[in-house]
Structure 1
Amino acid sequence: MTTPTYFSRRSVLGLAGLGAGAALLGGCGDDGSGDSGDGGGSATIDWWHISNVDPMLTTWANLAKDFQTANPGVEVKITPLENEAFKAKLTTVTQAGTPPDIFHSWGGGVLKQQVEAGLVKELDLGDAAASINKNGLDIYKVDGKQYGVPFDLGMVGFWYNKELFDKAKITAPPATWGEFLDAIRKLKAAGVTPIALAGSESWTAHFYWAYLAIRIAGVDGLAAAAADGSFDQPDFVAAGARFKELIDLDPFQKGFLGAKYSATDGQSAIMGNGQAAIELMGQWAPTTEAAYSTTKKGIGDKLSFFPFPSVDGGKGSVEDAFGGGNGFALGKDAPPQATEFIKFLLTADSQRKGASSDSILPVTQGAEDALKDANLKSVHAAIVKAPKFQLYLDQAYPPAVGTQVNDSVAELVAKKATPEKVAQDIAKVAKNQ
């Protein structure tokens, strides 16, 4: 198996403060009236991305060279940055009103703030939009307009150890929440730690509450609550109550409340060393498990994937997906050639070059044939057929709301809050946005 290089969905959280500074720049944006033409002629494109290691570091560099060869007079100036350095540098330039022409974006609430501050411009993809995953494009829309594009789209699901499932005599992945709870009981009875959880990092637990909300209230229900702050209505209390059913089974490893995600004794390592049966995580899980395991190889072919189960009586479809991805936004002063470059990066041929190393889950139709890893193919197939897609709540919502979701769910996991209090506290913050 080729070891993929993934972009952690956690990276966006550090940009939570960006909106506060950027909002002061609302009058700084221009309307792009100086941009004209079809992208021909001379131009320098300033491009910042966070793929600062191979294989994507080289992949992006080679694609930039290909574009320059096909477009004489165009120079693509690349600035690869590590996540934290990127966040710090982007905050500085956006506060100064000088964003790069193309820069990494996770969409959602931060992109909305950048739009409102006049820091990014609308993207016209033309006919290219028809071949790009619609759910992925929607993450980068603000008020129905396209302000960014995905180049990678993943989802959260259950990664499980087939050998430990066999030990507990679990013959098939659970398809319903009731079956999932039964599987937890069987694992405990067999002397297996059911779930690895990084309890000291609240974003990891929010996955459970969010998915239960998606299954019970539906993606549309979440959208309605985000619009008016009504997270205190019964469906969201029910999401907490269902999660509490799991918490009350004490399914997590000893000392989970102090555990980190990326550490040699953290959630990913526990899974990678075969010390727990399950983790709820994004598509980067296999790579991270391997990286933090003792052998640096993880559990190999023992690892498999199943989607979050259905909840009886819920309004959401079991095929609705929860996750996010990585993409690019267009700075307010970007030349027209920058739009053409983004379109080039989203062609099937360009996307295949990232997918061929299992480094991205492609968003362009036809590029998926380059994926090699069987588990990643399963994740991609689930994304493609998902009727609705919910972005991570701590990215989809304004930073204050996303932070409250994470913090309140962490209190539930620590048995310091009730499902009702979780819903009420989130609603209180959301209604004040």
Structure 2
Amino acid sequence: MTAHLSRRSLLSLAGVSAGAFLLGACGDDSSTSDGGQTIDWWHIQNTEPMLPVWAAMAKEYETAHDTVKIAIQPLENEAFKAKLTTATQAGSPPDLFQSWGGGVLKQQVDAGLVKDITADVQPWIGKLLPAAVQPFTIDGRIYGVPFDVGMVGFWYNRDLFARAGVTAPPATWAELLSTVGRIKAAGIVPIALAGKDKWPGHYYWAYLAMRIGGLDALRRAADEKSFDTPDFIAAGQRLKELVDLQPFQKGFLGAEYSSPDGQAATMGNGGAAMELMGQWAPTVQNSSSTSKKGVGDKLGYFVFPAVDGGKGSVSEAFGGGNGFAVGRNAPASTVDLLRTLLDVANQRRAAATGAVLPTVREAADAITDRNNQVVAASLASATGFQLYLDQAYPPAVGQQVNDSVAELIAGTKTPEQIVKDITTVAKSQ
């Protein structure tokens, strides 16, 4: 993600200014002249449906705590990452900010930029799914709390599959390639891809590496700082098989995920048969589409297929969750605000939008969307889980994964070359 991973995320659409839902005063000083506190909160849910939900929850908290003001900055995903980098380099992170955990959070922990909130969250952290909390746990200490958890899979347009004579989702990589061929022969764009953003492309390579080498291959790569192995090369070769079919929409190398003519809009407007994306995909497709309704009940979901002869299992999931970390200088009320956002009632409110798969166990009954229920069931039955590579690994390694996979998809680097490039960066860390 970007990752999105940069991000991953509810990756959201651009178009809403950072100040659109500003609540309370802004500024670096977390204290106000009347002795109150101002919480500076940055998040990336900068469009419907979660933008007004977060705003309402913040306003309710302010009403219940008259000495607290909450200054919200909703930011588009890439803009958020750029702004946060600037803030953290200056040693001034916001009080509460979007996080996907993993290697990026560890770097922030090592730099002393975030609070250890282990003791603060003990009374209620047990209500959350352990797998969701894992990416926010560094060396046994908790530095963030997830409000959303999910996995990446293929979202597909049932009508376009039917028009191409495809009666069932592919279960193997070979079947996926065959499906792409049939869809293309029917005059339909098989796959939408945001080539410019890079992180969506890394999903393919990461999943192929998981299916071919299993989760152990990714863990060994992290431990040994080496991706120059047969399994990772094979993942690139399989991805090249797909790229060689020219399955993506016209202009995909310059396409963004959330722009009006980007990946999500292409799917939402019925311009492609499928996309590989996280649990937020239906919501962003809807918001990005001309109708603001997407393709409705035509949308289906299937897990990333198996690779013949691979050591991985289709029950192993790749994904992550959205959460919040607490900046080192955050006022005392920040963790209490976080607790409020994660209470059962508010998690149900978030889940009811269809944009969030809740991390609080008791809120799972609020998942009403059929496809989200499928994602939640797939995740619940997963036998293993891998965080987005551009979040799981140190930031420089994650960025190189995104860059290298983008070069492979663009045809400027070979599978053998990209694993060497990623390994070089990994060994330099």
- TM-score normalised over the length of structure 2: 0.84
Shift of 1:110: 2.2
CA distance in 2, matches of 1:213, 1:57: 35
1:202 aligns with 2:198: yes
1:221 is displaced (CA, Å) by: 2.0
Distance (Å, rounded) in 1 between the aligned partners of 2:129 and 2:378: 12
Aligned equivalents of 2:199 and 2:325: distance in 1?
Answer: 24
Corresponding residue to 2:400 among 395, 399, 404: 404
The alignment status of 1:221 with 2:178, answered yes or no, reads no
Task: State the AA in 2 paired with 1:240.
Answer: G
2:91 partner amino acid: G
Q: Which residue in 1 is equivalent to 2:259?
A: 263
Cross-structure match for 1:148: 144
Q: Give the aligned partner of residue 97 of structure 1.
A: 91
Per the alignment, in what secondary structure is the counterpart of residue 332 of structure 1? coil
SS at structure 1 position matched to 2:117? coil
Deviation at 1:118, TM superposition (A): 0.9
Aligned residues: 399
1:162 aligns with 2:158: yes
User: Shift of residue 86 of structure 1?
Assistant: 4.7
Matched, 1:343 2:339: yes
RMSD: 2.8
The answer as to whether partners of 1:154 and 1:323 remain within 8 angstroms in 2 is: yes
What residue in structure 1 maps to residue 175 of structure 2?
Answer: 179
- Tell me by how many angstroms 1:428 deviates: 1.4
Structure 2: 5+ residue stretches without partners: 9-34
Q: Which amino acid aligns with 1:298?
A: G
String of CA shifts for 1:329-352, please: whole Å, max 9, x gaps. Answer: 122244554334323322222201
Q: 1:385 to 1:399 in 2, by over 3 A?
A: same
**Post-superposition CA distance 1:245-294 (Å, at most 9, x none):** 22222222334333333334332233223232111112232233333334
What's the offset of the Cα at 1:149?
1.1
Identity percentage over the alignment?
56
* Structure 1: gaps (5+ residues): 1-6, 15-41
Helix, strand or coil at the partner of 2:187: coil
Task: Give the direction of change, closer, same or farther, for the CA distance of 1:99–1:270 in structure 2 (3 Å limit).
Answer: closer
| 1:353 equivalent in alignment to 2:358 | no
Which deviations, in whole Å up to 9, do the C-alpha atoms of 1:365-418 show, x marking residues without a partner?
A: 021221232112222222233232222212222222122212221222122222
Distance in 2, Cα, partners of 1:360 & 1:13: 15
Contact 2:155/2:275, CA 8 A, preserved across alignment = yes
Residue of structure 2 equivalent to 1:420 = 416
In structure 2, the partner of 1:81 is 74
Q: What residue is the counterpart of 2:39 in the other structure?
A: 46
For residues 132 and 115 of structure 1, the distance between their equivalents in structure 2, rounded to whole angstroms, comes to 22
Q: Per the alignment, in what secondary structure is the counterpart of residue 227 of structure 2?
A: coil
Opposite residue 105 of structure 2, the aligned amino acid is: L
Task: Give the whole-Å Cα distance in 2 for the aligned partners of 1:62 and 1:281.
Answer: 28
- Judging changes above 3 Å, is the alpha-carbon distance between structure 1 residues 229 and 8 closer, same or farther for their aligned structure 2 residues? closer
TM-score by length of 1: 0.83
Q: Give me the whole-angstrom Cα distance separating, in 2, the residues matched to 1:241 and 1:9.
A: 22
Structure 2 vs 1, CA of residues 137 and 300 (structure 1 numbering), >3 Å: closer, same or farther?
Answer: same
Shift of 1:47: 4.0
The residue matched to 2:322 in structure 1 has which SS?
Answer: strand
State the 1:430 CA deviation.
Answer: 0.9
Which among 182, 189, 194 is matched to residue 185 of structure 2? 189
Q: 1:425 to 1:170 in 2, by over 3 A?
A: same
Shift of 1:143: 2.3
Are 2:101 and 1:107 equivalent residues in the alignment? Answer: yes
Write the distance in 2 (CA, Å) between the matches of 1:233 and 1:8.
23
Which of residues 126, 129, 138 in structure 2 aligns to 1:133? 129
